Structure 1
Amino acid sequence: MNTKTTTAMDTVAGRIYAAIKEQIIDGRYPPGGRITEQQVAAEFNTSRTPVREAMRQLVADGFARFKPNSGTVVREWSPEEMRQIFELRVFIESEIAGYAATRITAEELTALTRIQDDIELNGPDIGTDNTARIGRLNREFHRIVAEASRNERLVSMLASAIEVPIVQQTFRQYTTKRLARSFGHHRELLDAFATHDSAWAKSVMSSHIHSAKQTVLGDKSHGST
C-alpha cells in the first residue's frame, strides 16, 4: 500500500476505504458490481466527500474502476491477468517460504498452527460464511509466513499480488476435495517449518499456489470440475 493510503487510514475516508476493500475481497461487492456514493455514504452515515476520496483510492489501488455512465465498479480480471498474478505468487511466495523455514520463531510457528486449527474448525465446509471466514484466516496465515521470512524486499513485492480480490476469492470456488487439499498443504508447510527445511517449504508453497491457480483458472478454461 502506498504512502497516501497509509496516511489516509486515520481519516474517515481511510476507514471507508479499508471497509469497502474488505467487502470487495469477501465478495459482498462482486467483480463488475457497482459501488455508489449514495449507498456507501448511507452505510457509514457520512457525507459523500470522504466517500469520493475512498472511491478514488480504491480505483488507484486497482480494486475498482471508474466507467463513464456507470460510476465506480469493482474491477474484473481477465484469465490472463489472473494467470500472471498467480505465476508471480508462485515465484515470490515460494522464495518467502524458503526463507521463513530457516528464520521462523517458535512463537510464529505456534501462531500458524493455531490459525490452521481455526481454519479447519468446520472441516471442508464450502458454505459462503465458512469460506469467507477461512479466507480471512488464510490471509493472516500467509502474512505471518511472509513476516517470518525477514525479507522485506520480497514481502513488499508480494503485497499487491496477495491483496488482489480474485486471489482472495479462491476459497469460494473450492470444492470440498480442493479445500481439504489446501488444508493438507498448510499442514505440510508447518512440518517443513518445524524441521527448518527450506527446499521442502519452497516445494510445498509452490504446489499450494499452483493448486489455487487451477481452482480459479481451470474452471474458466475447461468448465466446472
Structure 2
Amino acid sequence: MKQVNGTATVAHELYAVIRERIVNGLYGQGMRLTEQQIAAEFNTSRTPVREALRQLTADGFLVFKPNSGTLVREWSTQQIHELFDLRVLIESEIALHAAEHIDDAGLSELTKAQDEIEARGADISEENTVRIGHLNRRFHALIAQASDSERLTSVLSNAIEQPIVQRTFRRYTVPQLERSFAHHRELLDAFRSRNGAWAKSIMTCHIHAAKFALLQDNPHADDNADTP
C-alpha cells in the first residue's frame, strides 16, 4: 500500500485492503490478525491499523475474543440462513422494481456484464471464480441501480458485501455455476419484458440456490460460530 499522509487516510486505505482480502478469502474464517502483523506488512504505524481493525470489527467482518485477539468472523448455519433469507426478501423486491424501471441502456450494460461473467464458461478454477465474484457484484449492483429504490439498495448493501456471500462462487460445482448463469440470463429476459413478477421469482430462486450451494460445503457452519 502506498504511504500517504494522515492517520485517518491510512486507516481508511487499510480498511479497504483488509476488507477486500476477507471478502476474497485471502484472510480466511477464523484467521487471527494482529496490529503488529498488519503494520509490518504495510510499513505503517500501529495506530491506523488499530483504527482499521476496530471499524472492521464494528462492521461485522472481524470479531474480538479475549485471550484470542482479533479474528476473521466465522459464520454458523443459522447465520447463513438468516443472511440469505434477508437477501431473498430485499433483492427479490429490487428485481421487481428493476424490471419496472430499467431502460435500454441499463439492459445493455447488464447484458455486457453477464457476457463477461460467462467469458470463460463454467470454469470453477480459483482464478476464474474470483474473477466471476467481482463481476457478479457488479451485475447485482447494476440491478439495484436500475431499481431506482435508494431505500432498498441501502439495506441490501451491507448484506451482499458480507464475505460469506462474496465467496459463494468458490463453492459451486460446474452444474451449479451453469445454473447461476441461466438465472442471470432469465433475469435479463424478465427485465426485457418489463415483467416484475417474473424477475422477482427468478431472483428468489437464484438466491436460494446460492444458499444451498454454500451450506453444502461450509466447514465453519456450526452453531458455535461468532456473532456480529
- Give the alignment's TM-score, normalised by structure 2: 0.90
Aligned residues: 213
Q: CA deviation at 1:220?
A: 5.0
Match of 2:14 in 1: 16
Q: CA deviation at 1:22?
A: 0.8
Match of 1:4 in 2: none
Q: Does 1:32 align with 2:30?
A: yes
Match of 2:46 in 1: 48
**1: CA distance, partners of 2:49 / 2:100:** 44
**2: CA distance, partners of 1:34 / 1:183:** 35
Q: CA deviation at 1:213?
A: 0.8
Q: Does 1:187 align with 2:188?
A: no
Which of structure 1's runs of 4+ aligned residues deviate more than 4 A? none
Q: Which moved more, 1:78-87 or 1:104-113?
A: 104-113
Q: Which moved more, 1:41-50 or 1:13-22?
A: 41-50
**1: CA distance, partners of 2:167 / 2:9:** 28
Q: CA deviation at 1:219?
A: 3.6
Q: Does 1:165 align with 2:173?
A: no
Q: 1:210 aligns with which of 204, 208, 212?
A: 208
Q: In structure 2, list runs of 5 or more residues that go unmatched.
A: 1-5, 220-228
Q: CA deviation at 1:115?
A: 1.1
| 1:92-103 to 2 correspondences below 5 Å | 92-103=90-101
**AA in 1 matched with 2:182:** G
- Give the alignment's TM-score, normalised by structure 1: 0.91
Q: CA deviation at 1:122?
A: 1.1
Q: 1:136 aligns with which of 118, 134, 137?
A: 134
Q: 2:107 aligns with which of 106, 109, 112?
A: 109
**2: CA distance, partners of 1:167 / 1:196:** 28
**2: CA distance, partners of 1:83 / 1:112:** 28
Q: 1:152 aligns with which of 143, 150, 153?
A: 150
Change (3 A) 1:220 1:30: closer
Q: Which moved more, 1:205-214 or 1:68-77?
A: 68-77
Q: Does 1:119 align with 2:114?
A: no
**1: CA distance, partners of 2:140 / 2:127:** 20
Q: 1:58 aligns with which of 50, 56, 61?
A: 56
**2: CA distance, partners of 1:161 / 1:40:** 26
Match of 1:74 in 2: 72
Give the secondary structure class of the aligned counterpart of 2:176: helix
RMSD: 1.5
**1: CA distance, partners of 2:55 / 2:49:** 10
**1: CA distance, partners of 2:193 / 2:18:** 40
Q: Which has the higher helix share?
A: 1
Give the secondary structure class of the aligned counterpart of 1:121: coil
**1:161-183: CA deviations, max 9, x gaps?**
11111111100000011001101
Q: Which moved more, 1:167-176 or 1:37-46?
A: 37-46
**AA in 1 matched with 2:67:** N
Q: In structure 1, list runs of 5 or more residues that go unmatched.
A: 1-7
Give the secondary structure class of the aligned counterpart of 1:11: helix
